[in-house]
Amino acid sequence: MNEDHFLTTEEVLDYLQVNLRTVYRLIKTGRIPAFRVGRQWRFRKRDIELWLDRSRSAAPDPDHDGASDKHRVLVVDDEQAVRELLEKTLTLADYDVDTAADGASALDRLRAVRYALLITDLKMPGMDGLSVIREARRIRPELPVVIITGCSTEASAIEAVNLGVTGYLIKPFRLPRVLAAAARALGEPLPVGDIGQ
The pLDDT of residue 8 is 85
The pLDDT of residue 146 is 94
Together in a domain, 127 and 35:
no
Record the pTM.
0.65
Decide which of 21, 41, 58 is a domain's last residue: 58
Together in a domain, 97 and 3:
no
Mean pLDDT in order along the chain per 10 residues (197 residues): 72 78 75 80 83 63 50 94 92 91 94 94 91 92 91 77 86 86 82 42
Together in a domain, 92 and 139:
yes
> φ and ψ at 147, to 5 degrees?
-100, 140
Indicate the number of domains in the chain.
2
pLDDT by residue (tens digit) across 63-100? Answer: 344 445 689 999 999 999 999 999 999 988 889 999 99
Which string of DSSP letters, residue by residue, matches 39-69?
Answer: TEEEEEHHHHHHHHHHHHH-PPPTT--S-SS
Decide which of 12, 33, 58 is a domain's last residue: 58
> What residues does 37 pair with on adjacent strands?
40
Together in a domain, 47 and 141:
no
Together in a domain, 36 and 80:
no
Together in a domain, 30 and 72:
no
Together in a domain, 73 and 169:
yes
Together in a domain, 104 and 190:
yes
The pLDDT of residue 57 is 60
Together in a domain, 54 and 69:
no
Residue 123: give the domain boundaries: 60-194
Together in a domain, 69 and 50:
no
Decide which of 17, 43, 58 is a domain's last residue: 58
3-state secondary structure of 80: helix
For residue 79, give the DSSP letter. Answer: -
Together in a domain, 18 and 114:
no
CATH of the domain at 82: 3.40.50.2300
Is 157:148 a contact under the CB 8 Å cutoff?
A: no
Together in a domain, 15 and 75:
no
The pLDDT of residue 68 is 53
CATH of the domain at 5: 1.10.1660
